[in-house]
Chain A
Amino acid sequence: MSPQHAPPELEEFFSNLELFGDALWAGAAAGALLGVLGVYVLLRNLVFVSAALSQAAGLGVALTFWARAALPGLLGGLDPALGAIVMTLMATLFFVRAHDHHDAHQDAQLGVAYLIGSAGTLAVATRIVADLADIETLLFGSAVAVLPEDRDALLWTAGTLLVLHGVAWRGFVAISVDGDGARVRGLPVALLEVLLFCSLALGVSVATRVLGALPVFAFSVLPAMAAVKLARNVSEAIWISSLVGIAAATLGYLAAYRFELPVGAAQTLTCLLLLALASVAELLRERHGHGHHH
């Protein structure tokens, strides 16, 4: 019989923060940014757009690895983040077009895009055996460590987009809640739409490259769902969602360490746990007669 394996203690974790600090910062930045973006994803019923975008980003990274392996002389230095951004922007343009034209079967189109992304990534993965671990990281977010340059890319992206959203949040809310009303009142709706979708594409693609598709999808949907249950208005929902995103990323990472779970799965499960707590809080508030009456 093999000797019983003792689970790692959190004391060890905190005494080795220099090993895990980059991953914690990267997770917190992604949680904060995707928490904010998630509120718009929810307001505009774009939940599956977010899922499809994260898969498109994954395919972009996989294609970059493949291109680097196939043409090492020409494309050997190609950054996988670039592939993620290009594929995500292409997918975003496709969804915006379908959304603007009120295309029938929009959900079916999203399903097709999601399947192209996930099946394409797996198919390409079989051609790049050397980078197979990277592909697994990409899909399920199983990376324990994050490179300093990836952490910096995520921090810069999150910082820049959060400043944009801090300045223009009222405009983004206006076009998300009542697009026609906003257009009639003279808001620059087309510009705000482009900025909102580009920030979603950029945030999802950079975060997917660093953390993987599974936690990115979770951060862009579940914190916002929890926040909407607790908030009295959209501005509160944005704050709460961002904080829930940070908490889920950090606590999920700690849980992954303590219970030896894949990081992405632990972060997603933590998001779900926080959502369950928010649902209980909403229920208790409704019982006391101060809740929303949806």
Chain B
Amino acid sequence: MSTEPRTLLALERAVVGYGGHGLLPPVDLALAVGDCWALIGRNGAGKSTLMRSMLGLQPLLFGTLRRAPQLRVSFVPQRAHFDLSVPSRVRDFVAGGLDVGWRFLRPWLDASERSRVEAVLEATDTATLAAEPFAALSEGQKQRALIARAVVSAPQLLVLDEPTSAMDPLNERAVFALLQRLCRPPGRDNAMAVLLASHQMGFLPEYADHCLLVDKDLGVLQAGSTREVYASAAFGRIYGALHLPAPGLGG
């Protein structure tokens, strides 16, 4: 039996960009089961373009995107992406994440899907909010509901775009702790891989074992362990003024 980590998604000599114009240097990387990757960089550095390309929402200009067969992916966009005028209780909002592939053709949820929704509401501490309108939630509660919607389909890879933006530090930590709990359930080996874009440089190393640093203006695209990337010259050039503490071991 192979002891190699199972690769879910890989980029090979991949160049991302728009209109034939590459934004970032070519990148090789592989996301494996259980990995937690942080995608970091300044605003407008190319994080979203890289993330959208990895999700297949935008074609690569060059290189290859490989996905494991039947890979289940969920994407959590920024909270502002959702129109709050759309009527939706938290339970309905979470259940919307069950629509994978052609499953939407079944107009109603079956018993196993309903119990899956209830289990995820419990796991994300949103069960008491299930009957509340999504629009009425606090920012931290909304983010928990978004994560619940994403994990209800049991994805193997969870991609999050700045999940803690516009959040107070306590809620930020709560969201990261929730992600860690969901992605690496104790005593189980069916961990899911995570890729998250974030600006929380201070405590990202507590959660992310790998890091992708991008900056289109400086032509930087550095991938590796969080410790390596935080120790790199490129990181120092971009974030040196923040005087961040040296990261501990990732994960």
Contacts and interface: CB of A to CB of B under 8 A. Distances in A.
Given A185-B101, A292-B135, A166 B107 contact: yes
Nearest to B93: A233
A232 B87 contact: yes
Given A171-B104, A228-B87, A231-B87, A187 B82 contact: no
User: Residue among B81, B83, B86, B150 with the most chain A CB within 10 A?
Assistant: B86
B88 interface: yes
B90 to A, nearest CB: 10
Contact of B88 (A170, A184, A234, A293): A234
B226 interface: no
Contacts of B100: 185-187
A45 to B, nearest CB: 8
A294 B96 contact: no
B86 A177 contact: yes
User: Residue among A184, A188, A233, A237 with the most chain B CB within 10 A?
Assistant: A184
A233 B134 CA distance: 10
B55 A294 contact: no
A189 to B, nearest CB: 10
A180 B77 contact: yes
A168 interface: yes
A167 B105 contact: yes
B122 interface: no
A167 B101 contact: no
Contact of B84 (A169, A174, A180, A294): A294
A185 B99 contact: yes
Interface residues of A, number: 31
Interface in A176-208: 177-178, 180-188
Contacts of B133: 232, 292-293
B83 A177 contact: yes
A234 B85 CA distance: 11
B49 interface: no
Interface in B65-105: 73-75, 77, 81-89, 92, 96-97, 99-102, 104-105
B153 interface: yes
B99 A180 contact: no
A226 to B, nearest CB: 12
A276 interface: no
A184 B99 contact: no
Interface of B: 52, 55-57, 73-75, 77, 81-89, 92, 96-97, 99-102, 104-107, 133, 135-136, 150, 153, 159
8 contacts: A43-B86, A169-B107, A173-B96, A177-B82, A181-B97, A185-B74, A231-B87, A232-B89
